[in-house]
Structure formats: C-alpha cells, structure tokens
Chains A and B, each alone.
Chain A
C-alpha cells in the first residue's frame, strides 16, 4: 500500500478502500501509528498510545474480512479516544495527575460498543483536566497544540481527540461535551464535532464532570463520518439511568435529503454586538447565507435566557463537579500523599497535589454555590435559569427546525493567552453552553477559514433531532467543500518548526 494520508481521507472513503481490498486495517493502523510517532512530539495529542493492541485489533478485523464475515462501516477505522472514558486495564487519567497511574477495572459502555463495531482504538488522548477547560492547557500533562498552528490551542476540553483527527493521526475521534468541549475544539481544528442529545449516548464509564450536562460524542473530518460513529455508540444503556430508551439512533439514512424548506432560526443572542472576531462573524454569516441558497428559510429569533446561560452554567457545572470529584481522595485509587498524620491530612494533601488550579477553582466555586445559605441564591437560582433556557428553546422549535450561530467567538487563540484569566477562558463557551443546559443536540461544522484558521458554524437541534441537524450539516459541508491545506503541511513539515511552536512565518511561507 502506498502511504495513505489519513488527514485527506474521510472515514467513508477509507471504509471503501478497505472493502475493496485496496488496503488493510493493519496497513492503515501502521500508517496512523507512524503518523503519531512523527507528529506527536510536537502536537502532544496522545497521552497513551496502544500500538500493540491496535495492531492486534486491526489484524482481527482483517481476518474477519478475509473469512467473509459481515463487517460494519467502522471496522478497521483508527480512532482517538479521549482519556475520560475508562478502558479496562489501560491507564485512564482524565488529564489529571491524581489519576496518573489509574488502571480502571472495567470498560465504559461506549468503549465496549466501539470494540464491537471493530473500531481500532489507537490510544487515549489529552484533555483539560477532568474536562474543565476550553484549550487543553489545563491538562496535568502539558497542552496539545493545534495542527493548523502549533503556537495555538486546539480548544478544549477534547483538544487531543480533535487535534488527532485534524492532523490525520486518526480518522475518527471520541470526545465529551459538557459546555462545548466537543464543538469548540471541532471549530478551532476545522473538523466536525457533535454533541448528542443528553441521554442518547451512555455515560456509564465516563469519568464525570457535570452529570446533568456531560455527553459523549464523535469527531470526524466529515459529517457522514461523525454520523456513522454516533450511530455506533448511541442507544439505551440499562447501566445509565439517564439514558433514553427507544431513542432513534439512525442518523445516517436521510443524510443527503438536503435543506429545502427547512426553517432555520438565526439566534440574535448568538450574534452579540461585541466579543466575536470579525473573521468568525464573516464566515458564519456567509454560512447562514449558504444555507438559504441551499433552500432553507432563515429568520431572526430571540432567546433572551441565552444571556444568562453562561452564568448559570458556571454555577451548575462546578457544583456537580465538586461532588463528582470528591471521590478522588487517595483512599481507593490514584495518587496518595505520603506520611500523612491522619486520613483527613492524607485526603487534603492528595487533592492539593493531584488537582490543577482550574479544577481546584471549580471545586471551590461549586462547593460554595451549594453551601448552606448560598444554595438558593446560586445553585437553586441557576437551575431556574435552566428551566427558562429550556422553555426558550422549546418555544423556538415550534417555529423552527434548527437554530444557527457561531460555535465560538474566536478562532484558535495562542497558547498561554488566557490561562491567567479564567473569565476570558470561560467566554469560549458562551455560544455552546445553552445547548448543554437544555440537553439538546448540536453540531459544529467547518465554515471556512479566517486568517488561515478554522471557523465553525453551529447548528442546534431539538432533543433527538440529530437526523435533521446532520442532514443540514451534510448539505452545508458538501456545498462548501473541504479545506485540506495546512494540516498535512504543518504537521509533516516538522523541520521547519521549532518544537515550542516558533517561526509562524515559516509556516505561512509553506501555505499555497
């Protein structure tokens, strides 16, 4: 097989090649691993690479194919798995030093489903610690770099998976989205990322950040790839009480139906007068126009509660997180502080050492928001705002099939630019969090470049409206076309770039 540049292939194209015998799963996996080896010193998308197991799994797929067994569309696909899903016997860190050597005794349901689909997991990817962050700079193991510009962040918290797919290390990725952690990195890395309806994908085995907001979702180069991956992992799980029974999981059948006649709402609150970069605004507005050209009817609408969504999110998510992270105390797993005088001392010092600053900040914030005397004003009030967001969306979906806006206000920002300003960092999520509060589905689809960096368009669907939103995303993507330029070149041209991401001019020279 000649070298197949994975960054240039969609999952569907790869599946076709495998089916036609033009390549084998082992060859593809070898290529992916070689790619990781060549590029990950710079990108740091992966925390753990499981090359041996991946090759074994790929071999099993090839054998099954040779034996004439029926294989699904994902068989042999190399995939990057966010290190927030537990994998039995394989180190799972959630991006945290407190779990640096944690080997879970069980598999997440999503992981089991991926294996059943014949997916080849290449390894566990980097992330903001416990999924708290929008840049992957909060990882306990160093940041991941954006393949489009290694001096910039890939977004977060699923930055590792997004970078891996964007850089062609993997063809598919799995991330999680609590306030935008799939969509925002997808936007910043120029790929497709889906946050499914809350309850569509099992959370059993997902190391929890905010239980009522977390969802597992797919990354892919293209909409069909993301949709196919979503189908493979979606569906009821009896081990997750919040998982939807009898949910429709077919999101690929009607993908090519187009947007003729679709009513799309342009949400005023997602186009505030300030805060969004002009380049982003331009690409998104062009994107909205494109949807109209394709046959959709676009109208303005207002969802006033969206103004308060970020504030509500930054009370609810940390509150739930402060409780979910209480179990990391050095007693049963993970890091344990030495020479403790007593168990409280041990717990306190373990958590002090094991958690990073952002995690500690959010635990404090969450604990405060729940504490006696403050519950009603903070957490209680935020839950009411949540109801208002839900109602606004319900109302909007009486008039519209989908809503549209930017995924995030900016393109990828430079590493280090926001680490000392938590509020500035939180603003990355301003357009994505309302969807998590309500539990709806949303997708970020590439909408072009602004000053050479990717911009994402966000489509928001009603609960269980994935099929509609992916249909629109597919039509949009097919019309816009794919931008393949910088990824391969930047990432392959390591000689031109110093590991700390210097010489951006050298990068620009290389672009056609």
Chain B
C-alpha cells in the first residue's frame, strides 16, 4: 500500500526532520516499496498469538535505592553545544510541553 505524501509530511514532522521537497518525493516512493514488502507480515495468521517485546523471559529486574556516583558538572556540560548559568542553552521554546 503506497504511503501518501501527506503521510510522509506528517511523519517527518513527528520525527522532527526538515525534509526537502526532493526528499519527500524520494522517500515517498522508497517507503511505499518497503512498506509493500513489510506488509507481508499481515498475511501470517496470528490469531491468539501474543506479541513478543523481549526475546528473553526475564521479569522484575530492580536495583536497590542506593545513591551512586553522578557526573561532575563539568562532565555533564562537556558535550553541550551552548551553556549558560550551568545549564544547557536552547533557542526559544514556543510550545508548552504536553
């Protein structure tokens, strides 16, 4: 099933990718081809088959509530593109968070 250009634009927005028009076109056709292949999964009868999210059957992996080592302020900020007042600086945020 082909994916529409509107879908591609929507998905690009969700994924925070500023695609060019050329990319939108190219990805639209490439994704359609790939999805066609991937759609094969729909053909397998899976009535009553539970999904697998984890290949190995482990449960309840917990740790103790004991304080460990943190990064130093320097280490934490060492990768930051821009820093001010010991914080990560970002350009203006327009939208409120969800």
Query: Are A351 and B16 in contact, CB atoms less than 8 angstroms apart?
Result: yes
In the complex, whether A102 has a CB less than 8 A from a CB of chain B is yes
In the complex, whether B21 has a CB less than 8 A from a CB of chain A is no
Q: How many angstroms from the CA of A340 to the CA of B93 in the assembled complex?
A: 11
Q: How many angstroms from the CA of A250 to the CA of B30 in the assembled complex?
A: 45
Contact check: which of B30, B33, B46, B88 meets A331 at CB < 8 Å?
B88
Query: Are B27 and A336 in contact, CB atoms less than 8 angstroms apart?
Result: no
Total A residues in contact with B, Cβ cutoff 8 Å: 72
Query: Are B16 and A387 in contact, CB atoms less than 8 angstroms apart?
Result: no
Query: Are B46 and A384 in contact, CB atoms less than 8 angstroms apart?
Result: yes
Q: How many angstroms from the CA of A106 to the CA of B75 in the assembled complex?
A: 9
Query: Are A343 and B93 in contact, CB atoms less than 8 angstroms apart?
Result: yes
Query: Are A340 and B91 in contact, CB atoms less than 8 angstroms apart?
Result: yes
Q: 0/1 per residue, B57-98, Cβ < 8 Å to A?
A: 010010100000001000110111110000010111111000
Q: Give chain A's interface secondary structure class.
A: helix
- Given A322-B15, A333-B80, A364-B12, also A344-B41 (CB < 8 A): no
- Given A349-B18, A367-B11, also A342-B94 (CB < 8 A): yes
Question: Which has the most chain B C-beta neighbours within 10 Å: A308, A363, A364, A422?
Answer: A364
Q: Which residues of B contact A365 (CB under 8 A)?
A: 31, 34-35, 38
B89: shortest Cβ distance to chain A, in Å?
9
Q: How many angstroms from the CA of A363 to the CA of B14 in the assembled complex?
A: 10
Contact check: which of B30, B58, B80, B93 meets A242 at CB < 8 Å?
B58
Instruction: Scan residues 338-362 of chain A and give those whose CB is less than 8 A from a CB of chain B.
Output: 340-349, 351-352, 355, 357, 360-361
A91: shortest Cβ distance to chain B, in Å?
11
Q: Which residues of A contact B3 (CB under 8 A)?
A: 368
Query: Are A102 and B52 in contact, CB atoms less than 8 angstroms apart?
Result: no
Q: Which residues of B contact A340 (CB under 8 A)?
A: 91
Contact check: which of B15, B16, B38 meets A344 at CB < 8 Å?
B16
Q: Which residues of B contact A371 (CB under 8 A)?
A: 11, 14
In the complex, whether B6 has a CB less than 8 A from a CB of chain A is no
In the complex, whether A388 has a CB less than 8 A from a CB of chain B is yes
Contact check: which of B27, B40, B46, B92 meets A343 at CB < 8 Å?
B92
Query: Are B54 and A345 in contact, CB atoms less than 8 angstroms apart?
Result: no
Q: How many angstroms from the CA of A358 to the CA of B62 in the assembled complex?
A: 36
- Given A212-B54, A314-B34, A361-B30, also A344-B94 (CB < 8 A): yes
Contact check: which of A326, A332, A384 meets B49 at CB < 8 Å?
A384
Query: Are B51 and A244 in contact, CB atoms less than 8 angstroms apart?
Result: no
In the complex, whether A238 has a CB less than 8 A from a CB of chain B is yes
Query: Are B44 and A305 in contact, CB atoms less than 8 angstroms apart?
Result: yes
Q: How many angstroms from the CA of A307 to the CA of B58 in the assembled complex?
A: 28
Q: How many angstroms from the CA of A90 to the CA of B75 in the assembled complex?
A: 13
Which of chain B's residues has its CB closest to A360's CB? B17
Query: Are A364 and B17 in contact, CB atoms less than 8 angstroms apart?
Result: yes
18 more CB-based (< 8 A) A-B contacts, given A312-B41, A364-B15: A103-B79, A212-B55, A244-B58, A329-B16, A331-B90, A332-B79, A332-B88, A333-B79, A336-B81, A343-B93, A343-B94, A348-B16, A348-B18, A360-B23, A364-B11, A371-B14, A384-B46, A388-B44
CB pairs A–B below 8 angstroms (26 shown): A103-B78, A105-B76, A105-B78, A198-B55, A199-B55, A212-B55, A307-B40, A308-B41, A308-B44, A311-B37, A315-B38, A334-B79, A343-B94, A344-B95, A346-B91, A364-B17, A365-B31, A365-B38, A378-B41, A380-B51, A381-B46, A384-B52, A385-B41, A388-B49, A437-B55, A439-B55
**Which 9 pairs from chain A and chain B are nearest by CB?**
A439-B55, A383-B51, A333-B79, A348-B18, A336-B81, A384-B46, A311-B40, A352-B18, A105-B75
